[in-house]
């Protein structure tokens, strides 16, 4: 399978960025997915410091697969072209191929008292897509939260009709909301540009169908089947480990450090490839 192994920095939010890159390279990773800070900066670096990041990525043999915003679109958001322009400029500066945003709420269903307006979401994505069309990086929408199902994300993608919009398939999230991996793959088709890898088991008596995370390969998410579908489709992008230490308490004590996290991920992949 001609894919690249990568990882997200949400596994190590407090680790100095140079050490993040060094440990990733030592573990055989070839790509890093950088979660932006609250000011939409990679590793908290100023724009003037980005050449240092570019040099360090090259030194470690790593590529920045994408940069991830915390932006979640639940309705039309005016002014997104102005807000997103510097983000796409930063993506271009470090060679990232995508800028990730979320659709809908982070919960598995719309929280009580909240609303979502898909017409407004589509309008917002259209606005961001026009920005993306001016830069080398594309807009990447993730199967996540209330838009975890591939069929829901693709409804927005088809409505926007821009070649600058693609999808991150988070296999775990789609499966968590009851969509089989075969269904997800069929909906997404060639729009799958990046893949998140993680595993878990269904919680007992959870009305939302939520899952508890496990080590990769020890849960019930059909990752092997997913890889087979991706291989059949000719996918040659990144398989990015999302070890969500940042907000998943069940994961924080499983491994002592990033080196152990990535070693286990590499061992799992070598066992199934």
Rounded-to-integer distance, Cα 83 and Cα 134, Å = 15
20-30 pLDDT tens trace: 999 999 999 99
Residue located via tokens 């990733």: 24
From the options 3.40.50.300, 3.20.20.150, 1.10.760.10, 2.20.25.240, give the CATH code of 4-272: 3.20.20.150
β-strands 192-197, 4-8 pairing: unpaired
- pLDDT at residue 250, rounded to an integer: 84
- Give domain limits for the chain: 4-272
SS3 of 171, please? helix
Rounded-to-integer distance, Cα 191 and Cα 68, Å = 18
What are the counts of helices (DSSP H) followed by strands (DSSP E) for the chain?
9, 10
- pLDDT at residue 248, rounded to an integer: 86
pTM higher than the cut 0.95? yes
Which own/partner contact pairs does 206-214 have at CB distance under 8 Å and 24+ positions apart? Answer: 208/107, 208/108, 208/109, 209/108, 209/176, 209/177, 209/178, 210/108, 210/176, 211/172, 211/176, 212/250, 213/244, 213/248, 213/250, 213/251
Contact (CB, 8 A) for 248 and 210: no
Of 273 and 81, the structure prediction assigns the larger pLDDT to: 81
SS3 of 24, please? helix
Nearest to 96 by CA among 63, 120, 50, 51: 63
- pLDDT at residue 1, rounded to an integer: 61
**Please, which pLDDT band fits residue 204 given cuts at 50, 70 and 90?**
confident
Contact (CB, 8 A) for 96 and 135: no
Average pLDDT, the chain: 96
pLDDT value at 247 more than 90:
no
């Amino acid at each position: 399978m001609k894919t690249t192994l990568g990882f997200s920095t949400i596994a190590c939010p407090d680790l100095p960025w140079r050490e993040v890159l060094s440990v990733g390279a030592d573990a055989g990773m070839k790509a890093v997915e950088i979660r932006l800070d609250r000011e939409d900066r990679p590793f908290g670096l100023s724009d003037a410091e980005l050449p240092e990041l570019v040099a360090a990525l090259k030194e470690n043999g790593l590529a920045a697969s994408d940069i991830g915003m915390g932006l979640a679109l639940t309705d039309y958001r005016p002014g997104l072209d102005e807000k997103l322009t510097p983000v796409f400029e930063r993506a271009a500066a470090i060679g990232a191929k995508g800028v990730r945003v979320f659709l809908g709420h982070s919960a598995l269903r719309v929280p009580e008292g909240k609303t979502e307006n898909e017409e407004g979401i589509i309008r917002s994505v259209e606005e961001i897509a026009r920005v993306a069309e001016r830069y080398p990086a594309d807009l990447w929408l993730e199967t996540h939260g209330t838009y975890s199902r591939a069929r829901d994300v693709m409804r927005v993608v088809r409505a926007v009709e821009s070649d600058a919009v693609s999808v991150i398939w988070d296999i775990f999230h789609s499966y968590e909301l009851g969509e089989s991996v075969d269904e997800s793959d069929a909906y997404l088709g060639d729009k799958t540009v990046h893949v998140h890898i993680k595993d878990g088991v269904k919680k007992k008596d959870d009305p939302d169908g939520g899952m508890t995370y496990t080590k990769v390969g020890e849960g019930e998410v059909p990752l092997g089947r997913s890889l087979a579908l991706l291989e059949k489709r000719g996918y040659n992008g990144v398989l990015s480990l999302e070890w969500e230490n940042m907000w998943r308490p069940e994961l924080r004590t499983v491994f002592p450090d990033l080196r152990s996290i990535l070693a286990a991920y590499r061992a799992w992949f070598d066992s199934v490839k």
